[in-house]
Amino acid sequence: MTDALLLETREDDKTAAWWRQAAVYQIYPRSFADANGDGLGDIPGILSRVDYLADLGIDAVWLSPFYPSELADGGYDVADYRNVDPRLGTLDDFDAMVEALHARGIRVVVDIVPNHTSDQHEWFQEALAAGRGSAARERYIFREGEGPDGSEPPADWVSTFGGPAWHRVADGQWYFHHFATEQPDLNWDNPEVRADFVETLRFWSDRGVDGFRIDVAHMLTKDFAEKLPTSAELDLIPKDGNHPLIDRDDVHEIYAEWRQVFNSYDPPRTAVAEAWVAADRVPKYASPDSLGQSFNFDLLEADFDAPEFRRIVTENLALAATSGSSSTWVLSNHDVVRHATRYGIPVAQDSDAPTRHGGQWLLDGGDESVLDREKGARRATAATLFLLGLPGSTYLYQGEELGLHEVAAIPAEDRQDPTFFRTGGDEIGRDGCRVPLPWSADGDSFGFGSAGAHLPQPAWFADYAADAEASDPSSTLSLYREALRLRHPLQTGETLEWIETGRADVLRFARPNGWQVVTNFGAEAFDLGADAADVVLSSRALEGSVLPGEATAWIAPAGLLG
Ligand code: NOJ
């Protein structure tokens, strides 16, 4: 790393590069805090908790969609990109929230969902009414069906959420949807679609939003031949930039245009791609001509395993360097089983990702007898401190700072996730990580609101209440607060050096200024020797100079913290 980059990194907080090593906290607005007592979290609810966010010590919040939506996919079915869902508040409420967060030095990132709209979006309603051949249908992907009367879908493709990916409308045409039926894909070949999203980006940037998280950023552009491949044929097409549906090189033409928009603001607006693509394809999204940063989900998909963590970190730092971006780290979000739970259940033996990472446990009914909550919690905090010590940005998901576990026991009639319904229950889905937060140990909906919660909260949520944890120095919340507080003065250049520990299950690395992180992935204690005197934080208390199993310690040589 050059001296110039080191210097720039230290100044990140104040400069346009604030995002490079930020701790970003994801808010799933409908489950965060409910101010108007309708069971759904809302923007005034977030406003009422800005001091909590400031005390937590994060650098930015990322808000999952808060736009008008029929909630066919938890808000990722957007009916109006330039408004707030009336159940969640108003644009004035949004402005007040941004102002309050900014006043506390917290930046605001919002989710943009450009691959598909809601079927309630005025464009789609217009397309349905206008009929085949109309300009309105050209904003989406409509096709005639197969078979003599067109009653067969244009292709046998399966949607990401299960079930068919083509849906027939009343006049006999079919439209394509990667996700739920209520989420028709937009036609990104249409200049009107492109222009409209530029307007949306400007709309929120003008309101003071600092950055954007781009939903399924690798899916927007498509190339449909006259005769569509079958699903089996589609699977065989390499994802090398020319696949008809996924990770096409031409998607970056869109982001190059967006980049001009981002850079027309001072400071430039930032963006992070949600792109589930092969590692060597990530730098394209993270390049400064494109979105600038991309999620890396490798640690989220990894077991709690030292060699695996080391390999992933090394690879991703090298990849980030090739694009000039910083790396991103994430263990939990609104789409996966919470990491405290993943780490507390036996690792499923099959290698199929959706079931392996807690999905099988959910399918088996979320058996409490195989969940070791304490072990999950120990490993989760050890892994989080490891991540927060890495160069780059860390994305945290609401509730993980409380040590929350996945909620498995949700009756079928209360479930909301379309994956549950579209797979006929073969996948349980993501509701269990979206249950509204417990703010207090008692009271209606554990302080979430005054009239229940839109997903049922279990009785054990009382043990994870924010108010109790806030006054308990040994709580997960106190650990997160201390880690995020210390991370600012400890932050340094974007590199690390591995230090051999003599143990395959213990990782140790040093950052350029001497800040060191030691994570013991094993059960056996690890002796830090004389360095124990410089430990400034640990996820489990040291016993003398010994770091217990499944724990992380931060070491800061004298003088580093002033
Ligand atoms: C990715 C989002 O994270 C997920 O929640 C959503 O269901 C899909 N994209 C479709 O928008």
| One-character DSSP codes across 61-92 | EEEPP-SS---TTTT-S-S-TTS--TTT--HH
pTM of the model: 0.96
Which residue carries 């982001």 as its tokens? 255
76 Cβ below 6 A of ligand 1: yes
Q: Which atom of ligand 1 is nearest the CA belonging to 77?
A: 11
Kindly give the distance from the C-alpha atom of residue 160 to the centroid of ligand 1, in angstroms, as a whole number. 10
Which atom of ligand 1 is closest in space to residue 334's alpha carbon? Answer: 5
Burial class (CB in 10 A: 0-12, 13-18, 19+), 51: exposed
Q: Which atom of ligand 1 is nearest to the CA of 113?
A: 11
Q: 452: which residues sit within 8 A by CB, 6+ positions away? A: 39, 444, 445
CB 293, CB 328: distance < 8 Å = yes
| Residue 3, pLDDT score | 40
Ligand 1: distance of its center to the CA of 503 in Å?
39
pLDDT for res 12: 52
Is the shortest distance between the CB of 179 and ligand 1 below 6 Å? yes
Cα–Cα distance, 314 to 239 (Å, whole number): 24
- The residue whose CA is least distant from atom 3 of ligand 1 is 335
Residue 73 in contact with ligand 1 by CB distance below 6 A: yes
335 ligand 1 Cβ < 6 A: yes
Strand order in the sheet with 174-176: 142-143, 174-176, 166-168
Nearest CA to ligand 1 atom 6: 76
Residue 80 Cα, ligand 1 centroid: separation in angstroms?
17
User: For a substitution probing ligand 1, which of 73, 109, 116 has the most ligand atoms within 8 Å of its CB?
Assistant: 73
Residue 216 beta carbon below 6 angstroms from any ligand 1 atom: yes
Rounded to the nearest whole angstrom, what is the distance from the C-alpha of residue 540 to the centroid of ligand 1? 35
Determine the Cα–Cα distance for residues 126 and 384; give it in Å rounded to an integer. 47
**What is the torsional sign of CA 239, 245, 247, 250?**
positive
Separation of alpha carbons 78 and 147, rounded Å: 33
pLDDT at 343: 96
**68 CA distance to ligand 1 centroid (A)?**
16
How many Cα neighbours within 13 Å face the side chain of 418? Answer: 20
Residue 506 β-bridge partners: 520
CB of 34 closer than 8 Å to CB of 452: no
Listing DSSP states for 366-414 in one string gives: --GGG--HHHHHHHHHHHHHHHHHSSSEEEEETTGGGTPPP-----GGG
Kindly state if the Cβ of 71 falls inside 6 Å of ligand 1: no
Residue to probe by mutation, ligand 1, list 117, 121, 215, most atoms within 8 Å of CB: 215
pLDDT of residue 562: 77
Query: In terms of C-beta density within 10 A (0-12 exposed, 13-18 middle, 19 or more buried), how is residue 267 classed?
Result: middle
Tokens 């430039």 label which residue? 268
What does each of the 562 residues of the chain score in pLDDT, given as a tens digit?
334 444 444 455 558 899 999 999 999 999 999 999 999 999 999 999 999 999 999 999 999 999 999 999 999 999 999 999 999 999 999 999 999 999 999 999 999 999 999 999 999 999 999 999 999 999 999 999 999 999 999 999 999 999 999 999 999 999 999 999 999 999 999 999 999 999 999 999 999 999 999 999 999 999 987 789 999 999 999 999 999 999 999 999 999 999 999 999 999 999 999 999 998 899 999 999 999 999 999 999 999 999 999 999 999 999 999 999 999 999 999 999 999 999 999 887 665 655 678 988 999 999 999 999 999 999 999 999 999 999 999 999 999 999 999 999 999 999 999 999 999 999 999 999 999 999 999 988 999 999 899 999 999 999 999 999 999 999 999 999 999 999 999 999 999 999 999 999 999 999 999 999 999 999 999 999 999 999 999 999 999 999 999 999 999 998 899 7
Q: Which atom of ligand 1 is nearest to the CA of 73?
A: 7
Quick one: pLDDT at residue 540? 98
Q: In this structure, are residues 119 and 103 in contact, taking their beta carbons and an 8 Å threshold?
A: no
The pLDDT assigned to 226 comes to: 78
| Residue with the two structure tokens 């004389």 | 530
Quick one: pLDDT at residue 8? 46
Angle at 130 between CA 127 and CA 136, to 5 degrees: 45
Bridge partners (DSSP) listed for residue 552: 519
Q: Could you tell me the distance, in angstroms and rounded to a whole number, from the CA of residue 479 to the centre of ligand 1? A: 30
336 alpha carbon to ligand 1 midpoint, in Å? Answer: 11
| C-alpha distance from residue 236 to each of 232, 242, 244 (Å) | 7, 12, 11
Report the C-alpha gap between 527 and 543 in whole angstroms.
9
pLDDT at 371: 95
DSSP letter assigned to residue 105: T
